């Protein structure tokens, strides 16, 4: 095995751009979709980790809110994992018959929760000044949690930017 250490003697400095400072054209956001195909984004500074979790590692809890898939041991801390699409009013549920699911670990102060989603697309810089107010056509269950919408094309409904604080602190979790 050959180990190439040329980077140690390089004259060029490594890129140390601060991704949390909003130094580009707006805020760094994580794009993802739920099983129905609706596309959403969260500001990346509130997302602690994106991971693929085997369903057999999520422990179902009887009589819990129907939004919850169960609990998961994340780095020694037991957290709830919820079907984010179902919470937002989508009728298509996360497919629990597959081996694993994408989970976004989201945090706001002392609250930590996992959001199960269909796929995680990428991160991109979104200019918050280009965001349009939420459309009145949004499902009622989604309205309180969408900060705004970025128009994409005429064929798609747009990228919805979610308010993670409103989601984490929602009273709907206790239903």
Structure-token pair, residue 94: 């996360």
Please report the pLDDT score of residue 162 as a whole number.
Answer: 94
Cα torsion through 111, 39, 58, 65, rounded to 10: 70
Please report the pLDDT score of residue 154 as a whole number.
Answer: 52
Report pLDDT digits (tens) over 73-88: 999 999 999 999 999 9
Nearest CA to 80 out of 93, 67, 99, 89 is that of 67
| pLDDT, mean of residues 41-54 | 94
Q: What is the mean pLDDT of the chain?
A: 83
Report pLDDT digits (tens) over 16-27: 444 444 446 688
| pLDDT, mean of residues 37-55 | 93
Q: 10 Å Cβ neighbour count for 46?
A: 18
Global pTM reads 0.80
Report pLDDT digits (tens) over 96-131: 888 999 999 999 988 999 999 999 989 989 888 888
Please report the pLDDT score of residue 21 as a whole number.
Answer: 46
Q: Which residue has the tokens 């919820």?
A: 82
Structure-token pair, residue 136: 């009145």
């Amino acid at each position: 095995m050959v180990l190439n250490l040329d980077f140690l003697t390089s004259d060029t400095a490594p890129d140390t751009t601060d991704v949390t400072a909003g130094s580009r054209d707006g805020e760094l956001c994580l794009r993802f979709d739920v099983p129905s195909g609706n596309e959403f984004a969260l500001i990346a500074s509130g997302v602690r980790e994106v991971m693929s979790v085997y369903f057999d590692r999520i422990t179902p809890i009887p009589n819990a809110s129907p939004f919850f898939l169960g609990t998961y041991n994340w780095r020694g801390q037991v957290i709830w994992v919820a079907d984010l699409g179902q919470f937002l009013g989508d009728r298509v549920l996360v497919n629990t018959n597959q081996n694993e699911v994408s989970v976004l670990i989201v945090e706001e102060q002392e609250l930590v929760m996992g959001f199960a989603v269909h796929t995680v697309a990428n991160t991109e810089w979104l200019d918050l000044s280009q965001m349009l107010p939420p459309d009145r056509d949004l499902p009622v269950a989604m309205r309180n949690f969408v900060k705004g919408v970025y128009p994409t094309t005429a064929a798609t409904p747009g990228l919805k930017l979610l308010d993670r604080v409103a989601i984490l602190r929602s009273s709907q979790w206790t239903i």
